[in-house]
Amino acid sequence: MSVLSGKKIVLGVSGGIAAYKSASLVRLFIKAGAHVQVIMTPASKDFVTPLTLSTLSKNPVYSSFFDKDEENGVWNNHVDLALWADYIIIAPATANTMSKMVNGNCDNLLIAIYLSAKCPVYIAPAMDLDMYKHPSTISNFEAFAKYGNIIIPAESGELASGLSGEGRMAEPENIISFLEKDIEGKLPLRGKKILITAGPTYEAIDPVRFIGNHSSGKMGFDIAEAAANMGAEVILVSGPTHLKAKNQLIKIVRVTSAEEMYFACHEYFNNCNVAIAAAAVADYKPKNIALQKIKKTENTFNIELEKTKDILASLGEIKKNQFLIGFALETENEIENAKLKIQKKNLDLIVLNSLNDEGAGFGKPTNKVTFIDKHFNIEAQDLKSKEDVAIDIVNKIISYYA
């Protein structure tokens, strides 16, 4: 899966002959799993039609601040479009458009979006070789570097003027490759390996019955996605759940019981930088498992239980340089119990949630957590989606390695 998958991309198309390549570029972005919003300068519509780019991107194409064709008029909010984007790519970027970008000459929607951008901006120049080498163009490149914008170098070859040399816009495939390598190289968890547990465990009573819990596994899977999106290689040890991973950097190891999860974690832990125990592991399991289905004969039925192996504590005992994160789901004396767990299991950070908090717990899309580190610094969070909580947890890891 491409690092561009799921990313929101504003593709700016300016008025040069290389605009015909923008159709292929849009197609490649969509193939990579990105969401694409095309913004065209008025002049670019002389080279490629908005209908083509709209069809390929599956979104309307914007080229002006105000859609005059609408009966009541619609304002295309450049600020909203700029803030929506994870990345802005200007391809092709003509000498005229680059000059406007550098000097803040805001006479069209694309320049307004660029000037409002908070995200990384990539620029793929396209012009004749003399224009590409002109001192004013070189000066613009230097200005973009100061602004933190990234130039995708032009390629050499036959130009529209009939000359041959540097100035051709990079081919769409090369633009995609450049973006993927540049983005991947800047991901803060690139090179880190993270072990995560998720979901419930099922402890067999007989061939058809088990002891389990209501964990959906969503919190662990969300953490895995957030970590992988930051470049980490993730080993996700998951109990029984219908959830699937989207990112190719996530390796799922499916287990059923606490015993299986214990051995899977110990198989991978020594080679990991971080371990996050988000699974709801059964504390007890039946001491004896019936080989045949137990018949309903008596009014009462007793099952003798024994403790399962404490996965988190066992990892805390053998950890070396790993950053170890545990979860605590409490119903009373939450802070005190979480602090004891940090000490007892040799944790660096614990994520505490309470069933007393509305919106927290199993089977819900939200969670309300409190972070407590090994120095007992307490950081309470507001109720958030589990996706946002996952990002907060990953940011703790990023801060640890910063």
Rounded to 10 degrees, the C-alpha dihedral 339/342/343/345 comes to 140
- Report the distance separating Cα 223 and Cα 218, nearest Å: 9
Q: Is 175 exposed, middle or buried (0-12, 13-18, 19+ CB in 10 A)?
A: buried
- Report the distance separating Cα 342 and Cα 371, nearest Å: 11
Going by C-alpha positions, the residue among 305, 259, 260 that lies closest to residue 286 is 305
How many helices (H) and strands (E) the chain has is answered by: 13, 23
Half-sphere exposure (Cβ direction) of 279: Cα atoms closer than 13 Å:
33
3-state secondary structure of 264: helix
Structure tokens at 59: 């979104």
Residues known to be catalytic = 213
The position carrying tokens 């080989």 is: 291
User: Interior CA angle at 21 toward 19 and 25, to 5°?
Assistant: 115
Beta bridge partners of 371: 351, 379
- Report the distance separating Cα 147 and Cα 71, nearest Å: 40
Going by C-alpha positions, the residue among 289, 291, 241 that lies closest to residue 261 is 241
- Beta strands 274-277 and 369-373 are unpaired
User: Interior CA angle at 301 toward 297 and 302, to 5°?
Assistant: 150
Rounded to 10 degrees, the C-alpha dihedral 343/313/216/275 comes to 90
The position carrying tokens 């015909």 is: 20
Half-sphere exposure (Cβ direction) of 110: Cα atoms closer than 13 Å:
32
User: Interior CA angle at 42 toward 40 and 47, to 5°?
Assistant: 75
3-state secondary structure of 179: helix
Going by C-alpha positions, the residue among 36, 35, 38, 34 that lies closest to residue 13 is 38
